[in-house]
């Protein structure tokens, strides 16, 4: 019983803190800091206080979006998975069975890292920004975050992700045809 009460208290405290930090961010206020010394302001204004352009506190707060926004997030996340499925299909036809999983994991991590999903592209060197903007992960993230960042739906991002899907699907189809022709 004590464990349940402690869990509930900690969960409510976490929700309260996340809500407060979200409010501080969007109201552009200085956070209240018990220890003083400006450490809270430095943490709150750090580039790592945002994950893909969205304040980290929002991820722990009660995010309220309309049905259209949730639909946009779900559909763009699903659509964004299609280029990665194409990458997996290509790897499946090129790699040996025992190396498909590690290669797929490595490629997915690299595309996500270079696509700006872990570090905002504003914090990347110029060359890395250009690389990020050609990856499907960058455009998927941009579109999927649009309801949270209130930037509006980006049709260019949708077209880029669809382009990647078609390109990788055609390459996968070509590898399938080559593989079945050998059999």
pLDDT score for 66: 74
pLDDT score for 170: 93
Residue 171 in contact with residue 86, Cβ under 8 Å?
Answer: yes
Angle at 18 between CA 16 and CA 132, to 5 degrees: 170
pLDDT score for 35: 61
Beta bridge partners of 54: 51
pLDDT score for 166: 94
Instruction: Quote the tokens at residue 134.
Output: 């050609």
3-class secondary structure, 33:
coil
- Measured in degrees and rounded to the nearest 5, phi and psi for residue 54 equal -110, 130
Angle at 72 between CA 71 and CA 75, to 5 degrees: 80
pLDDT score for 171: 93
CA distances from 8 to 59, 73, 90 (A): 18, 29, 46
Instruction: Quote the tokens at residue 178.
Output: 């080559």
**How many whole angstroms separate alpha carbon 117 and alpha carbon 144?**
11
The tens place of each residue's pLDDT in the chain, 183 residues long, gives: 777 777 777 777 777 777 777 777 777 777 776 666 666 677 777 776 776 667 766 665 545 667 777 787 778 778 888 888 888 889 988 888 888 888 988 988 888 888 887 777 888 888 988 988 888 888 888 877 777 677 776 788 888 889 999 999 999 899 889 888 876
pTM of the model: 0.60
pLDDT score for 167: 94
- Match 């003083």 to its residue by tokens: 36
- Measured in degrees and rounded to the nearest 5, phi and psi for residue 119 equal -125, 130
Instruction: Quote the tokens at residue 56.
Output: 């980290």
């Amino acid at each position: 019983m004590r464990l349940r009460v402690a869990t509930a208290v900690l969960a409510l405290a976490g929700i309260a803190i996340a809500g407060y930090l979200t409010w501080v961010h969007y109201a552009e206020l200085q956070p209240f800091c018990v220890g003083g010394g400006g450490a809270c302001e430095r943490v709150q204004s750090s580039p790592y206080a945002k994950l893909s352009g969205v304040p980290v506190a929002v991820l722990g707060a009660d995010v309220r979006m309309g049905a259209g926004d949730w639909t946009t997030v779900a559909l763009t996340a699903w659509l964004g998975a299609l280029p990665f499925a194409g990458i997996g299909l290509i790897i499946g036809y090129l790699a040996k069975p025992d190396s498909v999983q590690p290669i797929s994991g490595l490629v997915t991590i690299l595309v996500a890292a270079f696509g700006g999903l872990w570090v905002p592209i504003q914090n990347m060197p110029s060359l890395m920004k250009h690389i990020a903007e050609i990856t499907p992960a960058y455009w998927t993230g941009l579109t999927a975050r649009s309801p949270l960042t209130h930037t509006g739906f980006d049709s260019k991002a949708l077209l880029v992700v669809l382009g990647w899907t078609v390109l990788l699907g055609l390459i996968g189809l070509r590898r399938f045809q080559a593989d079945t022709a050998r059999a």
